[in-house]
């Protein structure tokens, strides 16, 4: 077939694939590595690399040209073992002998079957020998020229971060007034827990400083990339759309008064950070461009059309269509990360390929005249289809904003268009290499982008591994469609998992099943979402109807993400380093090799599949038998939630009272699932510090909750409002706990000891207003002090309830075992077991050595979650059983 094509690399017909053309891969990889290294390199090093590469490449090309001329002069004529010359006019024989054939044999037509002739083999050998002698020099020269171009581009882009007045002012932490041009969509930071409070949410904008007024009054013109940080109002934090800063479009110019500070890290194109003073509205001094206004109107129309949908589709559809993730909640974002579905939340090559499929039909028929799609139905020729697709690509980039992620998606989606334009399936790998080379030369910061790396790896896996794996699965009896879907998901996950492990320090075991389950929903959600985008500006009722139709597949995608993230064995912790990535790559290679052999044994493959499902689901009865957690008959369990508190009191099978929710919804949800808790008659939040209440969404998720009891001292106010919003969203009533209250649920009863109805004097802070419980369960006595500090601890001892505090079985030590403890209370309580909930290597030094010494001096055994993990207590009376997870 390849001989008949007259081309060593094969014919142009899509079904006549020659050897994979890898000539552009080394230049692309070399340019990628060079750009990543030269962004921070000194100018003299960059110049030296570029000059040396150009000189060496020129020398190689000159010697190659001379070598080719010498080869032509020394080329022997055809003899008994030679073939005719490939030139149109054969030279006369040097020895004057007759030509073996009267005329040169004509080149066969492409696609025709070759006729075996004795002289064809030597002819091909001569051609390949010429390629062998000429190709290495040209290849090395091409790589060197690409290295030179990448070094020059990386050096120039890196210099943008070091030139001008902004870097110098950042080192001085100067107060300035600057005129900046916004270059990205505004975005809100995710809520972060720092100790007992939540860090304030801020609005982030990438921008370029165009004009800056220094502290001495001088004004300088510049063009320096910076990051703007604006404090967000509580309303913007709640609604994620409530600040005028969040409505700014790229290319808008604003004037800000800010402090310039150095940027942390060197992996992004940021010369400095501008912390804007105050939370007032922006001072706009330049309107956005017409293109950005048009794109903004389309995006705003899409958001308006999805306003009436349920929470998950309302948040997901704008991200699926145009990469607008402003409505994605932290919980939903965490679920997508846990299942490796984050590529759905951002504009990717997959979304763009689905859009192109409307035009060109299924990718498998994109290069054939009998292709499907809109193009052949309306009479667009094969080559013109590529031009129409190019116009569609341009519109896609305009609407989704030309930031790196969109450019990356457009470049990956353009591979299909290049295949159509050239008519060669074998051009897919060169097209990918070309896209990488062009994008890295255009924007060398992409060389340091993990997103760009993941996009290229996934696309390369789909072009190289997926077809081979699909064919292997089909040979073993799997139908074509399931085989293609399974091969694509498996190949992308196998190649990208090591990089994802570096970013998240976790390996998802549910990534492939979740990607398979959402695959059939991505296409309709994307197509209907783009239809909503196109109609929202002129027919809003139609757009709302389309958005409602798109909400069904979008809701399915969100449900799969949440369900996969909720599985107790959905992922395993992994070293978040490149050494860990290499180890994971080796493990994946072993799994692939073993998997090929397992496919030959259906029963063994099925057994392995069942085992994997059991590992992911981890049914509580089976888990309890294998791991011993939770222990049978457990009465009290302290979850390991880091620097915070989360405790579960067993009431009956599957039912428990939760005291505090910890700082992380994921961790407390995982703990409750491991304990098998599905019904919660009461959630007690001892006080409103973030390390006790921020995990409340994880407690409420998928469980029946009767009520929430809290302290009456509602500070900090933002966290108290957070608790009330979460309770209202689930229809859970919130009540106030006061001293003297007694309650009973199943085998569990408890008494509220603190705070009194009207504390006098008032609490010095939220810690001293903590709800304190004395719990009894099957002969086991437990005292839970919340975060009480010495003043409240002494007041508790003096209260009427203090007289009955002697000789408890278990003490939940106050305030994570801090040094602020009342020794009289510890002596009065005299616990047999003291448990402390604290985070490993926390900045507060919890637990304090003095507290540990006081507890042990009183005869208590001390367990702490930072060293012992989750702790469960069973038994009662004289027999106390302790288990650790």
- CA distance linking residue 102 with residue 259, whole number of Å: 86
Which pLDDT does position 13 carry in this prediction? 41
The residue-averaged pLDDT of 397-404 equals: 72
Greater pLDDT, 503 or 128: 503
Residues 13-63 pLDDT 10s: 433 444 667 888 899 999 999 999 999 888 889 999 999 999 998 888 888
Which pLDDT does position 314 carry in this prediction? 92
Greater pLDDT, 396 or 539: 539
Which residue has 């206004």 as its token pair?
293
Average pLDDT along the chain: 81
Neighbours of 225 (CB within 10 A): 21
Which pLDDT does position 8 carry in this prediction? 39
Distant-in-sequence contacts of 725-731, Cβ < 8 A, 24+ apart: 725/238, 726/696, 726/697, 726/700, 730/700, 730/705
The residue-averaged pLDDT of 714-736 equals: 91
At 196, the pLDDT band (50, 70, 90 cuts) reads: low
Which pLDDT does position 595 carry in this prediction? 84
- Evaluate if residue 873 carries a pLDDT over 60: yes
Which pLDDT does position 123 carry in this prediction? 43
- Evaluate if residue 485 carries a pLDDT over 80: yes
- Evaluate if residue 118 carries a pLDDT over 80: no
Preceding peptide of 213 cis, ω within 30°: no
Q: E strands of 116-252, at which residues?
A: 175-182, 187-188, 192-194, 197-199, 202-213, 219-231
Residues 318-370 pLDDT 10s: 988 887 888 888 888 888 988 998 888 766 666 666 766 666 655 444 444 44
User: Which one-letter DSSP state was computed for residue 185?
Assistant: -
Tokens in use for 810? 């278990």
The runs of H, that is alpha helices, within 287-373 are 290-305, 311-322, 330-338, 342-345, 349-360
- Phi first, then psi: what are they for 355, rounded to 5°? -65, -40
- CA distance linking residue 613 with residue 629, whole number of Å: 19
HSE, side-chain direction, 13 A CA sphere, residue 825: 25
Nearest CA-CA partner of 307 in 295, 319, 322, 317 = 317
- Evaluate if residue 867 carries a pLDDT over 70: yes
Which pLDDT does position 348 carry in this prediction? 62
Residues 403-435 pLDDT 10s: 666 666 677 666 656 656 655 554 667 778 888
Residues 287-311 pLDDT 10s: 998 888 888 888 889 999 999 899 8
Which pLDDT does position 322 carry in this prediction? 84
Which pLDDT does position 127 carry in this prediction? 43
At 566, the pLDDT band (50, 70, 90 cuts) reads: confident
Which pLDDT does position 384 carry in this prediction? 73
Direct distance between the N- and C-terminal alpha carbons of the chain, in angstroms, rounded to an integer: 63
Residues 814-842 pLDDT 10s: 999 999 899 999 999 999 999 999 998 88
Which pLDDT does position 138 carry in this prediction? 80
- Evaluate if residue 735 carries a pLDDT over 90: yes
Which pLDDT does position 759 carry in this prediction? 53
Which pLDDT does position 94 carry in this prediction? 44
Q: At 578, which helix (H) or strand (E)?
A: helix 578-598
- CA distance linking residue 304 with residue 127, whole number of Å: 64
Measured CA to CA in angstroms, residue 610 lies from 241, 570, 573 at distances of: 45, 15, 22
- Evaluate if residue 805 carries a pLDDT over 50: yes
The residue-averaged pLDDT of 780-790 equals: 91
The residue-averaged pLDDT of 502-512 equals: 90
Distant-in-sequence contacts of 700-705, Cβ < 8 A, 24+ apart: 700/726, 700/730, 700/732, 701/331, 701/566, 701/665, 701/669, 702/566, 702/678, 703/672, 703/677, 703/678, 703/679, 704/678, 704/679, 704/680, 705/680, 705/730, 705/732
The residue-averaged pLDDT of 101-113 equals: 44
- Evaluate if residue 164 carries a pLDDT over 90: no
Preceding peptide of 716 cis, ω within 30°: yes
At 549, the pLDDT band (50, 70, 90 cuts) reads: very high
Which pLDDT does position 34 carry in this prediction? 95
Nearest CA-CA partner of 337 in 511, 550, 172 = 511
Greater pLDDT, 193 or 583: 583
Greater pLDDT, 722 or 598: 722
Tokens in use for 644? 């915070």
- CA distance linking residue 742 with residue 99, whole number of Å: 113
SS3 content of the chain, % helix, strand, coil (to 5): 50, 15, 35
Which pLDDT does position 112 carry in this prediction? 42
The residue-averaged pLDDT of 619-630 equals: 78
The residue-averaged pLDDT of 479-500 equals: 90
Nearest CA-CA partner of 209 in 250, 164, 249, 240 = 164
At 690, the pLDDT band (50, 70, 90 cuts) reads: very high
Measured CA to CA in angstroms, residue 748 lies from 605, 662, 880 at distances of: 47, 22, 17
Tally: H helices and E strands in the chain:
29, 28
HSE, side-chain direction, 13 A CA sphere, residue 518: 30
How many residues belong to the chain? 885
- CA distance linking residue 520 with residue 488, whole number of Å: 13
Tokens in use for 47? 């110049």
Which pLDDT does position 412 carry in this prediction? 61
- CA distance linking residue 834 with residue 156, whole number of Å: 61
Q: Which residues pair with 754 in a beta bridge?
A: 772
Q: Which of 95-99, 504-508, 683-687 has the lowest mean pLDDT?
A: 95-99
What SS3 class is residue 657? strand
């Amino acid at each position: 077939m390849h001989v008949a094509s007259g081309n060593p690399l094969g014919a142009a017909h899509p079904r006549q694939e020659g050897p994979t053309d890898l000539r552009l891969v080394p230049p692309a990889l070399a340019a990628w590595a060079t750009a990543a290294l030269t962004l921070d390199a000194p100018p003299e090093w960059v110049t030296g690399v570029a000059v040396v590469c150009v000189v060496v490449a020129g020398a190689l090309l000159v010697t190659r040209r001379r070598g080719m001329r010498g080869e032509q002069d020394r080329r022997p004529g055809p003899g008994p073992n030679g073939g005719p010359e490939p030139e149109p006019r054969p030279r006369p024989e040097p020895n004057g002998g007759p030509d073996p054939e009267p005329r040169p044999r004509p080149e066969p037509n492409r696609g025709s079957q070759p006729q075996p002739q004795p002289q064809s083999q030597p002819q091909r050998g001569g051609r390949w020998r010429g390629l062998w002698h000429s190709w290495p020099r040209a290849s090395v020269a091409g790589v060197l020229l690409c290295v030179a171009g990448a070094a020059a581009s990386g050096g120039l882009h890196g210099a943008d971060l070091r030139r001008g007045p902004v870097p110098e002012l950042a080192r001085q932490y100067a107060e300035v007034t600057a005129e900046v041009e916004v270059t990205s969509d505004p975005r809100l930071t995710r809520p972060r827990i720092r100790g007992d409070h939540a860090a304030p949410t801020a609005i982030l904008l990438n921008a370029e400083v165009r004009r800056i007024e220094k502290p001495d009054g001088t004004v300088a013109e510049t063009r320096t990339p910076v990051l703007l940080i604006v404090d967000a109002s509580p309303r913007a934090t709640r609604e994620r759309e409530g600040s005028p800063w969040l409505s700014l479009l790229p290319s808008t110019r604003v004037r800000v008064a800010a402090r310039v500070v150095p940027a942390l890290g060197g992996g992004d194109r940021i010369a400095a950070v501008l912390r804007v003073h105050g939370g007032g509205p922006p001072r706009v001094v330049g309107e956005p461009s017409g293109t950005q206004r048009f794109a903004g109107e389309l995006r705003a129309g899409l958001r308006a059309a999805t306003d009436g949908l349920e929470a998950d589709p309302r948040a997901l559809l704008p991200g699926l269509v145009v990469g607008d993730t402003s409505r994605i909640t932290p919980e939903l974002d965490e679920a997508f990360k846990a299942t490796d579905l984050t590529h759905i939340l951002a504009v990717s090559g997959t979304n763009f390929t689905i859009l192109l499929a409307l035009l060109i039909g299924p990718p498998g028929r994109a290069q054939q005249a009998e292709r499907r799609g809109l193009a052949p139905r309306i009479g667009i020729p094969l080559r013109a289809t590529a031009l129409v697709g190019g116009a569609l690509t341009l519109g896609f980039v305009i609407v989704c904003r030309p930031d790196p992620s969109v450019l990356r998606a457009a470049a990956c989606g353009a591979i299909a268009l290049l295949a159509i334009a050239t008519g060669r399936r074998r051009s897919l790998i060169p097209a990918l290499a070309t896209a990488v080379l062009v994008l890295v030369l255009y924007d060398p910061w992409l060389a340091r982008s993990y997103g760009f790396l993941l996009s290229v790896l996934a696309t390369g896996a789909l072009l190289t591994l997926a077809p081979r794996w699909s064919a292997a699965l089909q040979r073993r009896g799997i139908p074509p469609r399931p085989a293609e879907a399974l091969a694509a998901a498996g190949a992308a996950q196998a190649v990208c998992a090591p990089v994802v492990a570096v970013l998240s320090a976790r390996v998802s075991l549910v990534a492939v099943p979740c990607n398979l389950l959402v695959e059939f929903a991505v296409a309709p959600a994307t197509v209907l979402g783009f239809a909503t985008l196109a109609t929202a500006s002129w027919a809003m009722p139609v757009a709302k109807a389309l958005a409602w139709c798109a909400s069904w597949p979008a809701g399915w995608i969100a449900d799969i993400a949440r369900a996969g993230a909720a599985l107790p064995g959905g992922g395993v912790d992994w070293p978040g380093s490149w050494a860990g990535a290499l180890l994971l790559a080796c493990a994946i290679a072993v799994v692939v090799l073993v998997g090929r052999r397992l496919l030959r044994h259906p029963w063994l493959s099925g057994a392995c599949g069942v085992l994997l499902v059991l590992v992911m689901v981890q049914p509580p009865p089976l888990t309890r038998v294998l791991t011993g957690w939770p222990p049978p008959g457990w009465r009290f369990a302290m979850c390991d939630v880091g620097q915070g508190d989360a405790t579960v009191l067993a009431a009956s099978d599957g039912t428990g009272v939760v005291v505090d929710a910890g700082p992380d919804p994921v961790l407390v949800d995982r703990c409750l699932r491991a304990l098998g808790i599905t019904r919660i008659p009461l959630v007690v939040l001892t006080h409103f510090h973030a390390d006790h209440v921020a995990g409340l969404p994880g407690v409420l998720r998928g469980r029946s909750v009767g009520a929430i009891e809290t302290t009456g001292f509602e500070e900090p106010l933002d966290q108290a409002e957070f608790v009330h919003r979460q309770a209202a969203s689930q229809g859970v009533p919130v009540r106030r706990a006061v001293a003297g209250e007694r309650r009973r649920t199943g085998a569990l009863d408890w008494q509220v000891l603190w705070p009194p109805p009207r504390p006098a004097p008032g609490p010095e802070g939220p810690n001293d207003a903590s709800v304190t419980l004395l719990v009894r369960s099957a002969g086991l006595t437990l005292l839970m002090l919340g975060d009480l500090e010495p003043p409240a601890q002494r007041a508790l001892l003096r209260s009427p309830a203090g007289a009955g505090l002697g000789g408890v079985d278990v003490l939940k030590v106050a305030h994570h075992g801090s040094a602020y403890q009342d020794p009289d209370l510890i002596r009065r309580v005299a616990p047999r077991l003291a448990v402390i909930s604290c985070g490993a290597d926390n900045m507060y030094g919890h637990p304090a050595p003095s507290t540990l010494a006081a507890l042990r001096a009183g005869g208590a055994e001390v367990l702490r979650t930072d060293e012992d993990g989750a702790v469960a207590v069973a038994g009662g009376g004289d027999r106390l059983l302790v288990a650790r997870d």
